[in-house]
Amino acid sequence: MLTLQHIHKNYANLQALKDVSFSLQPGEVVGLLGPNGAGKSTLMKILTGYLKEWEGEIRYGEQNLRTATKAIQQVTGYLPENNPLYPELYVQEYLQFISELYKIPQPPFIDVLDKVGLTEMKNRKINTLSKGYQQRVGLAAALLHNPEILILDEPTTGLDPNQLIEIRKLIRQLGEEKIVLLSTHILSEVESICDRVIIIRKGEVVADEALESLRKGQQQIVQVEFDYRIETEALAKIPGVNKAVNTFDFNYELYCSKEEDVRPKVFDFAHDNQLKILSLQQKNENLAALFNSLTS
Ligand code: ADP
């Protein structure tokens, strides 16, 4: 277990982290969610041993990060924000370079390339790879020493939808056996990858919850856009819809009980009333409400 207790960090006059405490264990992917400037990268740089000046205590099992920095770094993999690589190097060459730099004995190149789905790209130059594949190179480098803890700073930024799906899947797989902490400022990222979310605002933890408990007891909100105006009273008569609100133009929010997926009924309603649905999505109210209270 990795435990952080009462972490404080100042940059000159700026208090970047205030009394941050939480624990992480293997088998769960934890999302550190907060707007830009909330302190996510600072916390990650502390966890990797890069930043030395901070207050509080961090322990991994029996070891203390201050006294056993090297030992903890040896079991920690880090993907920094913006994934700095050497674009002129070939994939294999880059991984070799990283292994030499960190003096990793017998790096498991074949396994790691296979795990991140890069085997076929190993002889390609990094600057010829797509952003998604470059992200895999960064992950491969972070995995070479078979770390027990993985710290991923905004790992999905800039990926297209297909690349996103694949990287998310990979992160979830890694989370089955490792401690995984990833940072993001995107709510949907947490919903699709994480088992637990820690929300951070202005350096303070404002929420720490399992996604499952956030989903439980919540109300679903279905957001729908039609091509034509419709009375909210009519929308509220769709079975399962408790309330309908016209948010703007032809956009509506339908508040529904959580047991039921009302989207098929919204389609039937549109069909019966000769309306076209221009967009339709369901959102998780508790998490959205938490995040709104955080960013507003
Ligand atoms: P996030 O990763 O959530 O965007 P950061 O940890 O990068 O947030 O930054 C938290 C706060 O600390 C911000 O106000 C940022 O400007 C400030 N900050 C970050 N790094 C430094 C630094 N090296 N020197 C001074 N201020 C910094």
Q: What is the pLDDT of residues 83-131, one digit of tens each?
A: 889 999 999 999 999 999 988 989 999 999 988 889 999 999 999 998 8
Ligand 1 centroid distance, CA of 157 (Å): 18
Ligand 1 centroid distance, CA of 175 (Å): 27
Is 259's pLDDT higher than 80?
Answer: no
Average pLDDT of the segment spanning 212-235: 85
| Mutation pick for ligand 1 pocket among 41, 53, 151, 205 (CB with most ligand atoms within 8 Å) | 41
Spatial contact of 22 and 56, defined as CB atoms under 8 Å apart = no
pLDDT at 77: 94
* pTM summary value: 0.78
Average pLDDT of the segment spanning 205-225: 82
pLDDT at 293: 65
Is 287's pLDDT higher than 80?
Answer: no
* Pocket flag, ligand 1, residue 80 (CB < 6 Å): no
CA atoms within 13 A on the CB side of 260: 14
pLDDT at 156: 85
Is 258's pLDDT higher than 80?
Answer: no
Average pLDDT of the segment spanning 252-268: 86
* Pocket flag, ligand 1, residue 39 (CB < 6 Å): yes
pLDDT at 46: 97
Exposure string of 124-148, with b = 16+ CB inside 10 Å and e = fewer, is eebeebeebbbbbbbbbbbbbbebb
More confident residue, 159 or 114: 114
Confidence bin at 218 (pLDDT 50/70/90):
low
More confident residue, 295 or 21: 21
pLDDT at 189: 84
Confidence bin at 268 (pLDDT 50/70/90):
very high
| Mutation pick for ligand 1 pocket among 7, 9, 10, 11 (CB with most ligand atoms within 8 Å) | 11
pLDDT at 140: 93
Ligand 1 centroid distance, CA of 164 (Å): 26
pLDDT at 167: 85
Say which range, 26-40, 121-135, 274-288, has the weakest mean pLDDT.
274-288
pLDDT at 296: 62
Confidence bin at 206 (pLDDT 50/70/90):
confident
pLDDT at 294: 63
More confident residue, 268 or 214: 268
HEC sequence for the chain: CEEEEEEEEEECCEEEEEEEEEEECCCCEEEEECCCCCCHHHHHHHHCCCCCCCEEEEEECCEECCCCHHHHHCCEEEECCCCCCCCCCEHHHHHHHHHHHCCCCCCCHHHHHHHCCCHHHCCCEHHHCCHHHHHHHHHHHHHCCCCCEEEEECCCCCCCHHHHHHHHHHHHHHHCCCEEEEEECCHHHHHHHCCEEEEEECCEEEEEEEHHHHHCCCCEEEEEEECCCCCHHHHCCCCCEEEEEEEECCEEEEEECCCCCCHHHHHHHHHHCCCCEEEEEEEEHHHHHHHHHHHC
Nearest-CA residue for atom 25 of ligand 1: 11
Average pLDDT of the segment spanning 181-191: 88
Is 214's pLDDT higher than 80?
Answer: no
